Amino acid sequence: MAISDSSDNFRHLYDTVLMHYVRNSLVLLVGVCAMAVVWGVPSAWLVTRYDFPARRIFRWALLLPIAMPAYLVAFVYTDLLDYAGPVQIALRDWFGWQSQQDYWFVDMRTMGGAIFVLSLVFSPYVYWLVSLNFSEQSQSLIHAARLLGRSEWQIFIKVVLPLARPAIAVGCTLVGMETLADYGTVAYFSVWHITTAIYDTWLQLSDLSAAAKLSCLLLLFIVVLITLERRGRRNMRLYSDRHTPMLRVPLSGIKAWLATGWCMLILGFGFLLPAGWLLSRAVRYFTDTDWPAFGRMTIQTLTVSFSAALMAALVAFLLHCYARVRSRKGQWTLRIASLGYAIPGTVLAIGVLIVTTSVDHSLNAVTRSIGYGNVGLLLSGTLFAMTLAFVCRFSAVAIGAVETGMAKVPTSFDESAYLNGYSYSETSRLIWLPLLRNSLLTAFLLVFLESMKELSAALLLRPFNVQMLSTYIYEYMTSEMFEVAALPALLMVVAGLPAVLLLTYSMDKR
């Protein structure tokens, strides 16, 4: 599609706004990744290495922002920090300012605002992967550094951090892909980037080939990102086999409170504040609630997310089994399957639409030829299409989650299995599957959470009379009628909480 006739529209974009969009994409990408590291890495180090008040709670609570959709957090902060919002009203009351001209205040609808919000809600990826890595690092290295007279700070910078680099890189890749594919949040903040251009050319100018070209450009971004990350740690095999359990250093006095304060800051900005705001709104409009409709929406959302998560975990498992058996081809398959994450939801949705409708057309041709008549759009006209889109989009997350688990299964296990006459399928079923149980659970939970929040593909692929929590919230949110959406928004976050808790549990079990 992308290399078909060169259209005027692409030329037009190139001449007018494309470079601006590309620049915005880069700034956003670097900004969000950097900030996600700033939020995620120190907090991961604090909760694994030290003991301080409420550490046990932060250990899992720092994952909570992942239950919040970015567009929702964006909306909350805009509402809070607006000129007419509570913060500015309070400031005006205190200082006696009269109008906007009297003082300067942060504007959320800027690049900075977008980076702040996106990095907050995506930072759990970095936190989660890095804290796993920290807890697996060998204590003996830290002891050795200690004996050689290094300070805590030097240990963190010179020993721990370099060892955590692969985890940081994988976390940043996930954050980067989420960022580039985001549409709802950046559109809300009027920060236009390359995804915007894809939307415009495809859905406003109806120019598929120009949109496909832009999508290729976006994919190029991603491939460069992934390749750089992989090259950077090509020769790293840094794990120490001798694993001494982590001994936590107790913090006291000001240090302990600083540690608690830092974790509290992230939790507060990323979860408590938006959740509290949602709760207050939900309480305020509680009596207007249309319970049966919300019940239906919740069930539909959970059904789709559950099926998508199950399928994605299965796909990740099968692909990893394949990669284990056919190393080179398998690795490529894994990388390609992961690219879906970077494709904006709408583009992916249209891709899924094209595939499912053509299968539907063939199916109908078959049923007609055997005299059964038309069966209609069995795949594209049902929840199947939406589920498939979610699977394509979030397989990367599942693959990433299973990857670390698979790496820990020694190849000697496979060899002894083959020597004992096990077939590939027996090996995968009887050896890999039980060993990967926790990784698969993690994969399932992550995809489940992501599917509940996913918006663009759901907006496009909904079958008749189906409303998802995400689409409902977004529609009313963008129409400045949040009063209607507060309760479903809260429902969505609450529905994600058990998954977040289970996620910490699976983290502990590794």
Partner 1 sequence: MKMRILAAVLAAATTGSALADVNVYSYRQEFLIKPMLEAFTKETGIKVNTIYVKDGLAERIKQEGEHSPADIVLTVDISRLEELVNEGLTQPIESEVVDANIPANMRGNEWVALTQRARAVYSSKERVGKLPDSFTYLDLAKDEYKGKICTRSGKHPYNVSLVASIIEHEGAEAAKEWLQGVKANLARKPQGNDRVQVKAIMEGVCDYSLGNSYYYGKMLTNEKEPEQKQWAESAVINFPDQETYGTHMNVSGVALAKYAPNKEEAMQLIDFLTGDQAQHMYAEDNFEYPVNPNVQPSELVASWGDFKKDEVDITKVASHYQEALKLVDEVQFDL
Q: Report, in Å, the least distance between residue 193 CB and partner 1.
A: 11
Q: Which of 38, 378, 409, 501 is the binder for partner 1 (CB under 8 A)?
A: 378
3-state secondary structure of 474: helix
What is the rounded CA–CA span in Å between residue 71 and residue 473? 10
CA 348 to chain CA mean position, Å: 16
If binding is defined by CB under 8 A, does position 460 make contact with partner 1?
yes
Q: Which of 54, 310, 359, 409 is the binder for partner 1 (CB under 8 A)?
A: 310
If binding is defined by CB under 8 A, does position 285 make contact with partner 1?
yes
What part of residues 167-196 is at the interface with partner 1 (CB under 8 A)? 189-190, 192
Q: Report, in Å, the least distance between residue 314 CB and partner 1.
A: 8
- Letters for 316-355 (x = contact with partner 1 by CB under 8 A, - = none) are ------------------------------x--xx--xx-
For CA atoms 20, 22, 23, 28, the dihedral sign is positive
Q: Report, in Å, the least distance between residue 107 CB and partner 1.
A: 8
3-state secondary structure of 452: helix
If binding is defined by CB under 8 A, does position 139 make contact with partner 1?
no
User: Which stretch in 80-88, 212-220, 260-268, 403-411 sits in contact with partner 1 by CB under 8 A?
Assistant: 80-88
If binding is defined by CB under 8 A, does position 311 make contact with partner 1?
yes
3-state secondary structure of 57: helix
* Contact in structure between 181 and 342 (CB atoms under 8 Å): yes
If binding is defined by CB under 8 A, does position 150 make contact with partner 1?
no
β-pair partners for 50: 249
What is the rounded CA–CA span in Å between residue 456 and residue 344? 8
CA 265 to chain CA mean position, Å: 21
**Distance separating the N- and C-terminal Cα atoms of the chain:** 44
Q: Which of 95, 104, 153, 464 is the binder for partner 1 (CB under 8 A)?
A: 464
Q: With respect to partner 1, which residue has the nearer C-beta, 203 or 431?
A: 203
Q: Report, in Å, the least distance between residue 317 CB and partner 1.
A: 13
What is the rounded CA–CA span in Å between residue 504 and residue 491? 21
If binding is defined by CB under 8 A, does position 227 make contact with partner 1?
no
Q: What CA–CA distances, in Å, run from 343 to 219, 338, 404, 475?
A: 7, 10, 24, 22
If binding is defined by CB under 8 A, does position 93 make contact with partner 1?
no
Q: Which of 483, 497, 509, 510 is the binder for partner 1 (CB under 8 A)?
A: 483
User: Which stretch in 126-134, 315-323, 400-408, 462-470 sits in contact with partner 1 by CB under 8 A?
Assistant: 462-470
* Burial tier of 223 (Cβ tally within 10 Å: 0-12, 13-18, 19+): middle
User: Which stretch in 14-22, 55-63, 431-439, 498-506 sits in contact with partner 1 by CB under 8 A?
Assistant: 14-22
Element holding 249 (H helix, E strand)? strand 249-250
Residue type, 339: L
Q: With respect to partner 1, which residue has the nearer C-beta, 275 or 460?
A: 460
Helix ranges (DSSP H) in 268-371: 273-284, 291-325, 327-338, 345-369
* Contact in structure between 115 and 32 (CB atoms under 8 Å): yes
Q: Which of 116, 199, 394, 432 is the binder for partner 1 (CB under 8 A)?
A: 199
How would you classify residue 421: left for phi > 0, otherwise alpha for psi between -120 and 50, otherwise beta?
left
The pair of three-digit structure tokens given for residue 277, joined into one six-digit string: 């705001």
Q: With respect to partner 1, which residue has the nearer C-beta, 58 or 202?
A: 202
CA 58 to chain CA mean position, Å: 20
Q: With respect to partner 1, which residue has the nearer C-beta, 12 or 146?
A: 12
Q: With respect to partner 1, which residue has the nearer C-beta, 174 or 388?
A: 388
Q: What CA–CA distances, in Å, run from 488 to 38, 64, 297, 343?
A: 31, 18, 9, 27
* Contact in structure between 393 and 171 (CB atoms under 8 Å): no
Q: Which of 6, 151, 265, 288 is the binder for partner 1 (CB under 8 A)?
A: 288
* Contact in structure between 68 and 493 (CB atoms under 8 Å): yes
If binding is defined by CB under 8 A, does position 372 make contact with partner 1?
no
Residue 112 phi/psi, 5° resolution? -60, -45
Q: Exposure string (b/e) for 229-268, b if CB count within 10 Å is 16 or more?
A: beeeeeeeeeeeeeeeeeeeeebeeeebeebbebbbebbe
User: Which stretch in 171-179, 216-224, 243-251, 468-476 sits in contact with partner 1 by CB under 8 A?
Assistant: 468-476
Q: Which of 56, 143, 248, 361 is the binder for partner 1 (CB under 8 A)?
A: 361
Q: Which of 34, 279, 435, 484 is the binder for partner 1 (CB under 8 A)?
A: 484
If binding is defined by CB under 8 A, does position 99 make contact with partner 1?
yes
Q: Which of 5, 96, 204, 369 is the binder for partner 1 (CB under 8 A)?
A: 204
Q: With respect to partner 1, which residue has the nearer C-beta, 206 or 227?
A: 206
Q: With respect to partner 1, which residue has the nearer C-beta, 200 or 403?
A: 200
What part of residues 234-253 is at the interface with partner 1 (CB under 8 A)? none
Q: Where are the beta strands (DSSP E) in 19-102?
A: 50-51
Contact residues: partner 1, CB under 8 A: 12-13, 16-17, 20, 82-84, 99-101, 107, 109, 189-190, 192, 199-200, 202-206, 285, 288, 303, 306-307, 310-311, 346, 349-350, 353-354, 357, 360-361, 364, 374-378, 380-384, 459-460, 462-467, 471, 475-476, 478-484
